[in-house]
Structure 1
Amino acid sequence: MNRRVRTILLTSDSYPPAVNGIVTHLLLLRKELERRGYRVLTIAPRRREGPASEENVLYIPSFPLPLRGDNFVTLPFPELEKHPLLRSPIDIVHNHLFLIGMLGLRVAQKRNIPAVVTYHTFFRQYSDWTIPWIPKTVRYPLINALARSYFQQHRLIIAPSHKAIDELQQARVKAPIKLITNGIDLARFRLADPQLFRQRYGLAPGKPLVTLTGILERGKNVDLAIRSLARLRNMLAEVQLIIIGDGNAREALEELVARLRLRKQVMITGYLDRAMIASAAAATDVVLFTSDTDTLPTVVIEGMAAGKPVVAVRDDAVLDLVYHRYNGLLVAKDPLQLAEALAYILTQREQARRYGENSRKLAEAFSIERYVDQLEQLYSSLREQMGAALVGALPFSRGGASQ
């Protein structure tokens, strides 16, 4: 029998030119699957500033949410199922968010093939800053009901952290759940040149540097980082905080920086490319993380891979990555406690070095290769469970070929 490449359909409501952890994860996943010989199809939102076409990508028109220009909504109409890209052989559907995921589900159900979904976003918390005008008493029960309806149609839910599992269980989602932590390109962060970032932003080699990377939205608590630096400045006058990212809260954060007279100590760079983000991780003395709305913070893993200590707000998602007084410090959501933790890391150099070494060791468990190894086993198991009902009824093999 002729050899043929097995095909995986990925769907996501977030895709370049958007910049966030989900996009980074999706692109790495696709690259690694293709490296192993799989054909990977993608359904993604089209944005005006994005490409008009891309090989093996079906773009769906999207529009921004009112008053939320960086959040886009897609309408996956049923007639899209007739698109030529979706008529080709598909063996597994792997959804990554909700709206386009509905189209992925319909494709899987009509073909009787497995559909899995990764739970990336806490929808209730996300709704707090995307549709805050709807009262929580109405919004939360509705979101829970929609989540149950959507997730329970999948053969399996992939949760990247224990916090994600807890959230799904609290929403009473009754479907199999498997913990598979996301992976990153470890080599990029191990080998990054710190001088690229320091030279670009005029930072002397010995200047104490704290970096925070993420989307500038209310739920990320970036204002907490700025307020902590106002206190840290009284302990370490030369410290610099560089915030890497952009979002709807940027203007308010810049106003806060000005109001606290921190313009010399705090810089917001906007979005940077992946090479410069890796250089920033290599250049910093400590990775700061203040969000309590993430399922598993990729930026923390990246900093760990670069061998850096972490100071983070104590949150269940971070507990899968940061061990207090082993590879960093976990504190309450309080600017003074954050400032004291940062001061400790920046002044206790030997302890900081040990924390950084431990971070690098822990990061080894989060390679993209290890992540895809687990996915391959999962995909194969699901295909076997579906048995003869699957298209082709052939085993899903590593390397993407069947005899």
Structure 2
Amino acid sequence: MRIGMVTACYKPVINGVTRMVSLYKEHLEAAGHEVTIFTLGNPDPNDEPGVVRSPGLMLGDYGYYVSMRYSSEAQALLQEMDIIHCHHLFMSVEMAHRYGRSPIVYTNHTRYDLYTGSVISLPQPAADAIMRQVWPEFTDFADVVITPSAGLRDVMLEFGVRRPIELIENGVDLRPFHHPTAPLAKADLGVPETAVLVTYVGRLSPEKDVDILLDQFAIAKDVVPNLHLMIIGKGSVQADLQKQAKQLGVTDSVTFTGPVAYEEVANYLAAADLFATASVTEVHPLTVIEAMAAGLPVVAVSSPGIVDTVTSDQSGLLTTKPAGGLAAALVGLASNDARRKQMAQAARQESERFDIYNTIQRTIKLYERLQEERPDLKRKKMHGRRIFDSERLQPVVEQLGKLLWPAEKEPSSRRWFLPSSMTQAEQRPHDN
């Protein structure tokens, strides 16, 4: 099959979505399929074969771009695909519907209901109201929606998503985490060998609640003095977190590694004793699966995505109360070596069901079924309709535009990348 992966961002951006898209490409190609990745932004000299980028407007410093159209090359290639698999709600599904001529699959990787309020500073009820319009309208451009967890499926149904939903869990290549190439010891990281090393891997941004984890770690350390925390990743709040560690008096017990190449993450996890996260915005977190594969019990908040991955009291400890509950769970595992080792074995065994090979096989079966049934030729929203052709979607797009680029905001600069083929009327600058 000729498979198009449509994503709003790709390498060198580091996040769970780009990693999942990369895994799909690698393993689908190994199974004999031809994979083309469609994304936005300037050409990257490090792109592997099969990556097609269309010009777009850079959105902040996150590695994301926005655009109202794809390049002529991308438009033509999309029409040649047998299956199109989208990985973002925006800058993805509608583009595939507009330019493609094949069944469209959309995997929802993000709790957009929670991220909306975080990114544009809205009260949660207002963010929910927006997503009750946006989620159903944009997913209507797909033929099938994939959710990586049952918890997310329930959330999307609650928000009014109408398309058929398939549950296919995210997968991970478990081999590097079972057998790291150059495993690190605590001493290699400047951590005492007698320490119980807690680790967090992920983006350092507000929605990940790393500040809550840091607070809870400081409380737990008062009870278990040999507790140490290693934070792997980078992001907009790193400086704030380092300042917070100093204020809490735990600077000497917290290691900020900065960004670590994905190929090296397994080597760092080999030095740790357990994994912890305070985030409640996860869908089906790859970092948690990878930690489990490395034999690390997980301390986390009981929330959709997490509860579909970790079995509390077996492969980790989950709490419904981040404040106090995370600290208690950290103390419970850090102070009980036998229980921690027992959970470590269970975590590794439990990770087996998230092997990428299972994900790929189930996804290929879905592709084949859609190829046979061709639901895209039977639905009302036929291929080729443009985003502004939908009367129902127009108010949604206008609302999003006002939230992302409010008229009262005086832009500090304007920067955009536009195809030369666009008409003057289409060449409208957007604020960063």
TM-score, normalised via structure 2 length: 0.82
Moved more, 194-203 or 296-305: 194-203
Q: What does the per-residue CA deviation read over 1:176-197, in whole Å, with 9 as the maximum and x for residues that have no partner? A: 0011100001101000157436
- C-alpha displacement of 1:228: 1.2
Structure 2, unpaired ranges of 5+: 379-432
Q: How does 1:4-403 map to 2 (within 5 A)?
A: 6-46=1-41, 50-51=44-45, 54-65=48-59, 68-70=60-62, 72-77=64-69, 80-83=71-74, 86=77, 89-97=80-88, 98-108=90-100, 111=101, 113-132=102-121, 139-192=127-180, 195-196=183-184, 198-386=186-374
CA distance in 1, matches of 2:18, 2:352: 21
Counterpart residue number, 2:408? none
From the superposition, tell whether residues 22 and 176 of structure 1 become closer, same or farther in structure 2 (CA, over 3 Å). Answer: same
- Give the SS at the match of 2:32: coil
From the superposition, tell whether residues 336 and 141 of structure 1 become closer, same or farther in structure 2 (CA, over 3 Å). Answer: closer
- C-alpha displacement of 1:146: 2.1
Name the aligned partner's letter for residue 287 of structure 2. V
Name the aligned partner's letter for residue 212 of structure 1. Y
Name the aligned partner's letter for residue 49 of structure 2. E
CA distance in 2, matches of 1:377, 1:369: 12
CA distance in 2, matches of 1:259, 1:123: 32
- C-alpha displacement of 1:199: 4.8
CA distance in 2, matches of 1:43, 1:200: 40
From the superposition, tell whether residues 388 and 358 of structure 1 become closer, same or farther in structure 2 (CA, over 3 Å). Answer: closer
Moved more, 276-285 or 90-99: 276-285
- Give the SS at the match of 2:307: helix
From the superposition, tell whether residues 51 and 127 of structure 1 become closer, same or farther in structure 2 (CA, over 3 Å). Answer: farther
Name the aligned partner's letter for residue 31 of structure 2. R
Moved more, 330-339 or 275-284: 330-339
Moved more, 181-190 or 328-337: 328-337
Counterpart residue number, 2:388? none
CA distance in 2, matches of 1:160, 1:229: 29
- C-alpha displacement of 1:280: 2.1
Given that 1:45 and 1:62 are in contact with CA atoms closer than 8 Å, whether structure 2 keeps it comes out as yes
Q: What does the per-residue CA deviation read over 1:13-53, in whole Å, with 9 as the maximum and x for residues that have no partner? A: 121111111111111111000111111001112258x4375
Percentage of identical aligned residues: 27
Larger relative contact order (CA 8 Å, sep ≥ 6): 1
From the superposition, tell whether residues 10 and 74 of structure 1 become closer, same or farther in structure 2 (CA, over 3 Å). Answer: same
Name the aligned partner's letter for residue 339 of structure 1. A
Structure 1, unpaired ranges of 5+: 1-5, 391-403
- Give the SS at the match of 1:182: coil
RMSD: 2.3
- C-alpha displacement of 1:203: 2.7
- Give the SS at the match of 1:99: coil
CA distance in 1, matches of 2:360, 2:96: 20
Given that 2:117 and 2:123 are in contact with CA atoms closer than 8 Å, whether structure 1 keeps it comes out as no
TM-score, normalised via structure 1 length: 0.87
Q: Please identify runs of 4+ aligned residues in structure 1 that moved more than 6 A.
A: 387-390
Name the aligned partner's letter for residue 37 of structure 1. G
Q: What does the per-residue CA deviation read over 1:197-252, in whole Å, with 9 as the maximum and x for residues that have no partner? A: 63542234442100011111112110111111211221222221011111112121
Given that 1:220 and 1:292 are in contact with CA atoms closer than 8 Å, whether structure 2 keeps it comes out as yes
From the superposition, tell whether residues 227 and 136 of structure 1 become closer, same or farther in structure 2 (CA, over 3 Å). Answer: closer
From the superposition, tell whether residues 52 and 265 of structure 1 become closer, same or farther in structure 2 (CA, over 3 Å). Answer: closer
Given that 1:81 and 1:107 are in contact with CA atoms closer than 8 Å, whether structure 2 keeps it comes out as no
- Equivalenced residue count is 377
From the superposition, tell whether residues 106 and 260 of structure 1 become closer, same or farther in structure 2 (CA, over 3 Å). Answer: same
From the superposition, tell whether residues 199 and 144 of structure 1 become closer, same or farther in structure 2 (CA, over 3 Å). Answer: same
Moved more, 213-222 or 328-337: 328-337
From the superposition, tell whether residues 222 and 246 of structure 1 become closer, same or farther in structure 2 (CA, over 3 Å). Answer: same
CA distance in 2, matches of 1:19, 1:253: 20
Name the aligned partner's letter for residue 330 of structure 1. L
From the superposition, tell whether residues 197 and 59 of structure 1 become closer, same or farther in structure 2 (CA, over 3 Å). Answer: farther
CA distance in 2, matches of 1:265, 1:206: 13
CA distance in 2, matches of 1:199, 1:193: 17
